[in-house]
A = this chain, B = another copy of it.
Amino acid sequence: MLSEFDLIKQYFVQDYAGDSRFALGIGDDCALLNPSPGMQLAISTDALVSGRHFFADAEPIGLGHKCLAVNLSDLAAMGAKPLAFTLALSLPEANPDWLAGFSQGLLSLANLHQCRLIGGDTTKGPLNICISIFGELPPGSALRRDAAQVGDDIWISGSLGDARLALASYWKEMTLTDEEHSQAASRMHRPTPRIALGIALRGIANAALDISDGLVGDLGHILDRSHVGANLDVDSLPAGPVLKKQTQEKRREFTLNGGDDYELCFTAPSHQRQAVIAAGLASQTAVTRVGIIEAELGLRLRDTNAEAINMALTSFDHFTTP
């Protein structure tokens, strides 16, 4: 049986010699970080729990990717550049195959974003993966949830709903072909954090967040904190390639309520439309305009003919859903 310290050494040490921002990494009581002068730090923490955020038998490479991706997505939603992260891993057993796969998925994505693993903790216990992530951004440039303005356009990056569609397929609520299932499942297991888009939107977008629990619930956080309302053009919501083939009812339901896509929802003044489109092109990320921020509180759903749509909508909540 591997000891706790062997584990850390064997699987989770990155080489970042020569990068003066990191004065000390794994192996001491704390990691030491030299923040870039004049920059603000963005910090986020997310825990992923077996059976809740992922299946107990989830493939470890994908799981490693996803755990870091959801944290990177929080940096993207603030417009922050990734810097470093810590990992607290609770594991039922020290299985070398699992650890090799998990660290490969985790560190591949970390290296892609030059995000350094600077500290960690491993414990025996039910599988729980807790990551804290650190990014940098110039003071005043953060894309906050409380900054939406009346008249702002509402935008969505990429596409929505395929992750939820994969879940429906796993749950046998819906039947997909193998190829469709595999395509949708890759959206669920391998979300793409929109880091480049988030950074490109600094100074252009007002408010932003990443959609983890579904657009309706998450956009609701922007509306609540900004004390505004919104009008959404439901049929303009960008459905994922597999969801596009489904009925209008499913498209509406899953683009509005499907979680786990980790796309950005952001608002920007209408005079910034060209700048938003340019930011999308520069970051090679599709951006779609889907609605408008209004003074009247609440969320109004409209179809392409601007007719009101009434749908029962609930946001995903870890403590109120089964």
Given A29-B210, A45-B132, 8 additional A-B pairs, CB 8 A = A3-B317, A7-B319, A30-B42, A33-B43, A47-B90, A88-B132, A125-B128, A128-B130
Q: Which of B3, B4, B30, B142 contacts A80 (CB 8 A)?
A: B30
The answer to whether B318 and A45 have CB atoms under 8 Å apart is no
Distance to closest chain B CB from A113 (angstroms):
15
Asked if A86 meets B319 with Cβ closer than 8 Å, knowing A80-B30, A145-B29, the reply is no
The answer to whether B319 and A4 have CB atoms under 8 Å apart is yes
The answer to whether B27 and A225 have CB atoms under 8 Å apart is yes
For the complex, is A250 an interface residue (Cβ under 8 Å from B)? no
Q: Which residue of B lies closest to A31 (CB)?
A: B43
The answer to whether A2 and B49 have CB atoms under 8 Å apart is no
Residues in B with CB closer than 8 Å to A44 are 29-31, 86, 119
Chain A, residues 118-133, CB within 8 Å of chain B (1/0): the string is 1111111110101010
For the complex, is A176 an interface residue (Cβ under 8 Å from B)? no
For the complex, is A285 an interface residue (Cβ under 8 Å from B)? no
The answer to whether B28 and A139 have CB atoms under 8 Å apart is no
Residues in B with CB closer than 8 Å to A134 are 43
Q: Which of B4, B89, B318 contacts A122 (CB 8 A)?
A: B318
The answer to whether B130 and A43 have CB atoms under 8 Å apart is no
Q: Which residue of B lies closest to A37 (CB)?
A: B37
The answer to whether B34 and A40 have CB atoms under 8 Å apart is yes
Residues in B with CB closer than 8 Å to A34 are 40-41, 139
> Would you list the 10 A-B pairs with minimal beta carbon distance, nearest first?
A49-B125, A130-B130, A132-B132, A30-B42, A47-B88, A29-B77, A45-B86, A126-B126, A35-B35, A29-B74
The answer to whether A125 and B23 have CB atoms under 8 Å apart is no
For the complex, is A87 an interface residue (Cβ under 8 Å from B)? yes
For the complex, is A196 an interface residue (Cβ under 8 Å from B)? no
For the complex, is A50 an interface residue (Cβ under 8 Å from B)? yes
From 5 to 35 in chain A, residues with beta carbon under 8 angstroms from any chain B beta carbon are 5, 7, 23-24, 27-35
The answer to whether A40 and B51 have CB atoms under 8 Å apart is no
The answer to whether A4 and B124 have CB atoms under 8 Å apart is no
The answer to whether B50 and A41 have CB atoms under 8 Å apart is no
Cross-chain pairs A/B with CB under 8 angstroms, 24 sampled: A1-B320, A2-B319, A3-B320, A23-B142, A28-B78, A29-B44, A29-B74, A30-B44, A30-B142, A31-B44, A32-B40, A32-B142, A34-B139, A35-B41, A43-B86, A43-B119, A45-B132, A47-B89, A47-B121, A48-B123, A49-B125, A50-B125, A124-B319, A125-B128
